[in-house]
Chains A and B, each alone.
Chain A
């Protein structure tokens, strides 16, 4: 079975520029998560989708970050405008549903903001 796919794997931008990340979850997984992992820290949840609805976006900096999952499958995470402190690895994960199921993680996108 194919795993969670993410692209790009690496991105370097200058501050105040925009960037978008894409995630394709495992087929049939209803729940999709975006995490931010800053160097030396554990991943932190940014947003959780159940199908195409948002379950939790309490830690998403909504003034600059946005995410969507329009058809309940693929998802995009956007940062506009980027700040230096947004440099991190952005991880996408999916699970069958939101009830205590194992989360499967993609390889992540490493973002560097200069």
Chain B
């Protein structure tokens, strides 16, 4: 079955530090890949997505590249801000059939200190 593995957390960084959050996946076929973010007290929000190999998703300074050869979709940001403190989830959606459910990783908590 499909699965998503995220690096263990939590992660604590100083403002303006470089961020990498690792994500690898197992899936049949060619899934779409997503990063969702959950800010404190809020619902899940789509941060970025990529639908095919070598696609790069980007939003709010975050980037992730769909790497089919390493089955990875690592999230990066060059300079984090305090406002980036949140829980980040990597997810995939199987592109086969009518079922478009998301399979999520466990999530990782990012804390950015001033």
Decide: A45 and B101 in contact? CB cutoff 8 A. yes
B binding-site residues for A, Cβ under 8 Å: 4, 32, 36, 42-46, 49, 51, 89, 91, 93, 95, 98-107
**Pairs across A and B, CB under 8 Å, 7 listed:** A43-B104, A44-B104, A45-B102, A45-B103, A100-B93, A102-B46, A105-B45
Q: A interface vs B, CB < 8 Å?
A: 3-4, 31, 33, 35, 40-45, 48, 50, 55-56, 91, 93, 95, 98-108
Query: Given A42-B106, A98-B99, A98-B100, 18 more contacts at CB 8 Å?
Result: A4-B43, A35-B102, A41-B106, A42-B4, A42-B91, A42-B104, A44-B104, A45-B101, A45-B103, A48-B99, A55-B98, A55-B99, A100-B51, A102-B49, A105-B36, A105-B45, A106-B43, A107-B43
Are A105 and B106 in contact, with the CB atoms below 8 A? no
| Nearest chain A CB to B60 CB, angstrom units | 16
How many Å lie between the Cα of A99 and that of B98 in the bound state? 7
Residues on A with beta carbons closer than 8 Å to the beta carbon of B45? 105
In the bound complex, residues from chain B placing their C-beta under 8 Å from that of A93 are: 44
Looking at chain B's contact residues, the main secondary structure is: strand
Q: Tell me the complex Cα distance, A68–B102, Å.
A: 20
Which residue of chain B lies nearest to A44 when distances are taken between CB atoms in the complex? B104
Known: A40-B106, A106-B43. A56 touches B93 (CB 8 A): no
Q: Is the CB of B100 within 8 A of A91?
A: no
Chain B residue with minimal CB distance to A99? B100
B11 nearest CB across to chain A (Å): 15
Enumerate chain A residues within 8 angstroms of B51, measured Cβ to Cβ.
100
Are A43 and B99 CB-contacts (below 8 A) given A91-B43, A100-B93, A105-B43? no
CB B108 to nearest CB in A, in angstroms, measures: 10
Q: Give bound CA distance, A93 to B46, whole Å.
A: 12
Q: Given known contacts A40-B106, A42-B4, A42-B91, is B44 in contact with A100 (CB within 8 Å)?
A: no
Q: How far apart sit A85 and B77, CA to CA, in the bound complex (Å)? A: 37
Question: Would A100 and B95 count as touching, CB distance under 8 A?
Answer: yes
Most A CB contacts (10 A, CB to CB) among B44, B91, B99, B105 go to B44
